[in-house]
Every structure is written in C-alpha cells, then in structure tokens.
C-alpha cells in the first residue's frame, strides 16, 4: 500500500517533496514539544507543599535560537510553496487546449479540433495540457490525484489550469467538491498516452465541428458581427488579434484580454468599457450558456490580427460574414 498516489505529472514530485517536508517538520516539532512537556512536568514538578519556586532568568541565546530557527523554516516553506504554486498556475504557451464544462453530475470535455468526451480525457504524455473550465450549476472541483492536480470550477467564471502527464496509464478523475446528491458518481478517467497512440486515437474518431467553428456560428447567430467588424466606423472594437493583448478602457486603465475578460465583456459588457466606443452593447447574461461562452471565446482566440495595409491591398478581401436581421452592439 502506497502512502501517496502514483506520480504521473511533471509537478507531482515537487508537490510531494514539499508535502513531505511539511510533514517531517510538523512531526519533529510535535515530538520535541510533547517530549519536553512531559520531561519538564516530571523534572520540575513541585516536590512538597512547602517548596518555594526559584527565580529563572531567561537566556538570550535560547531566545534567539527558538526565534531564528522557526522563522527560517517558515521562510523556506513560503518560498518553496510559492515556487510550486507558480509552477502549477502558469500554463506554457505551447499547451494543448481542452475545454471543460462541469454540471451535475458529469464532465463534458472538448478538444480544440472538435473531439468530444464525457467523463474521459485522452492526453499525450510529455505535452502540456491547458484546461479552460466552466460550471453550469454549482461549484465542482477537477481532481486527478496521480497528477497532483486539483482546480475548483466556480459558476460565473472560468478556471484555467494545466498539467503535463509523464507516464502512460489510466488515472482516476474525481470531483473533489460536494456538488449534490450524486456527487460520488461524478467520476471519470484520464488516459495518458504515448504521442503515437494519441495521434492514433485522434485519427480513429470523427472530431466533428471544432470549438472555434461552433463559436463562429454563435457569433453570427447572436449578431455580434454587426458591430465587431474589422471595418472603419464599426460600432464595436475589432476582435481580431485581441486575445492576449492589452486593451485600453474608457477609465484610462489597461487590461489584458484573457478568457476572464472576454467572458465578462459578453455577460456584463458595462463592467469594462473599451475606450472610444459607446455603451450600447446589451448583456447576454442567461442567453448564452457556459458551453456557448467557451465556444465564442475559442472563436475569438482563433481570430488573427488584421494584416498590414500593404498586405491587405495585395490580397483579395475575404467574403463578409452573413448578417442576420437582428442587431446587437458592443462598447
């Protein structure tokens, strides 16, 4: 029987080493203090009712020792823990994107190329995998013990996390947050595969419509293209190449257009107004579900920045997207 689950991710060893260090420090001081309490209780007990206690003068060296040593240990814990935290929370730029929608009581997963899975996730070893997760109802928690990977999925926001599998195998996937009467049934598997097996798995199924393609349809269905066109005088800012770049707001502040910003701009467009555009965009809160929001954001992420003027003049203009009769607006 193993004390810890199998290590199967790139940061599992770092998490286990920190955890072991904390256990050893805790055990050492617990035994030391407990032993001293017993020894001192016996050694310095009152031996007779008439015994008068003697004055004990403090030791400066002892004061320094029991102050410096715990302080040093806490500093080590802090910086070690911070380094592990930053390692876990910063996805590499070359990560494979997988989009996860949690709901009672299942995990719905979709790869960027359109492959869909239910309570299962296939990933290649040696390749970072970036999860963008949303919940349709209550708080869930995506937990793979062998990867030392756990991230809460909170309604009303996106949770972004990553891992990199290092060993082929089949690993448990749990929901680690009580989410209702069938919480214990919200389980699944993560299949870590060699690159060759992963490519064979991709080739063996029908991926269907990609997430970005589905988002492009929703973009037109909700009339987003009537305002967010890459043309002069558009009522909303162009979305081509906006993802990952700085956006200047009407209050003078600057924000990075990440998943959280794009989601907020759809469901609450008045929260952060883009400089130079009027406050005319309606809210889509409750009109587009979490899966639809993931599709829209995947589409926006796929948009390339506008080509330079010279290049645009040399190449034929793309056909305009179909425009439905209903219109919407953007700040």
pLDDT, tens digit, for every residue of 275-299?
A: 888 888 888 888 888 888 888 988 8
The pTM assigned to this predicted structure is 0.76
**Banded model confidence at residue 306, pLDDT cuts 50, 70, 90:** low
**Banded model confidence at residue 330, pLDDT cuts 50, 70, 90:** very low
pLDDT, tens digit, for every residue of 208-266?
A: 788 888 888 888 888 888 888 777 777 888 888 888 888 898 888 899 888 888 888 88
pLDDT of residue 75: 96
CA 128 to the chain's CA centroid: 13
**Banded model confidence at residue 269, pLDDT cuts 50, 70, 90:** confident
Secondary structure E strands in the chain: 96-103, 106-111, 116-118, 120-124, 129-135, 140-144, 149-153, 159-163, 169-175, 187-193, 246-248, 254-256
> Which domains occur in the chain, in start order?
1-40+60-207 (2.60.40.420), 211-305 (1.10.760.10)
**Banded model confidence at residue 45, pLDDT cuts 50, 70, 90:** confident
């Amino acid at each position: 029987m193993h004390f810890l689950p199998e290590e199967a991710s790139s940061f599992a060893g770092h998490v286990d080493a920190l955890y072991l260090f904390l256990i050893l420090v805790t055990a050492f001081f617990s035994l030391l203090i407990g032993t001293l309490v017993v020894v001192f209780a016996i050694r310095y007990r009152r031996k007779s009712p008439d015994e008068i206690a003697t004055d004990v003068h403090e030791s400066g060296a002892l004061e320094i020792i029991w102050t410096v040593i715990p302080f040093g240990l806490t500093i080590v814990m802090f910086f070690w823990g911070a380094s592990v935290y930053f390692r876990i929370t910063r996805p590499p730029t070359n990560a494979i994107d997988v989009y996860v929608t949690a709901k009672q009581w299942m995990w719905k997963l979709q790869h960027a190329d359109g492959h869909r899975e239910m309570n299962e996730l296939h990933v290649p070893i040696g390749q970072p995998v970036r999860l963008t997760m949303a919940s349709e109802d209550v708080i869930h928690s995506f937990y793979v013990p062998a990867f030392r990977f756990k991230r809460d999925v909170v309604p009303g926001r996106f949770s972004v996390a990553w891992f990199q599998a290092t060993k082929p195998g089949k690993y448990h996937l749990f929901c680690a947050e009580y989410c209702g009467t069938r919480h214990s049934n919200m389980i699944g598997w993560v299949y870590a595969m060699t690159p060759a097996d992963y490519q064979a798995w991709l080739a063996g199924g029908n991926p269907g419509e990609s997430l970005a393609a589905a988002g492009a349809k929703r973009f037109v269905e909700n009339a987003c293209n009537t305002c967010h066109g890459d043309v002069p005088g558009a009522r909303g800012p162009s979305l081509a190449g906006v993802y990952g770049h700085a956006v200047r707001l009407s209050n003078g502040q600057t924000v990075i257009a990440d998943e959280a910003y794009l989601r907020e701009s759809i469901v609450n467009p008045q929260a952060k107004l883009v400089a130079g555009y009027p406050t005319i965009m309606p809210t889509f809160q409750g009109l587009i579900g979490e899966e639809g929001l993931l599709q829209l954001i995947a589409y926006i992420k796929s948009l390339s920045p506008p080509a330079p003027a010279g290049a645009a003049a040399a190449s034929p203009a793309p056909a305009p997207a179909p425009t439905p009769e209903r219109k919407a607006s953007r700040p």
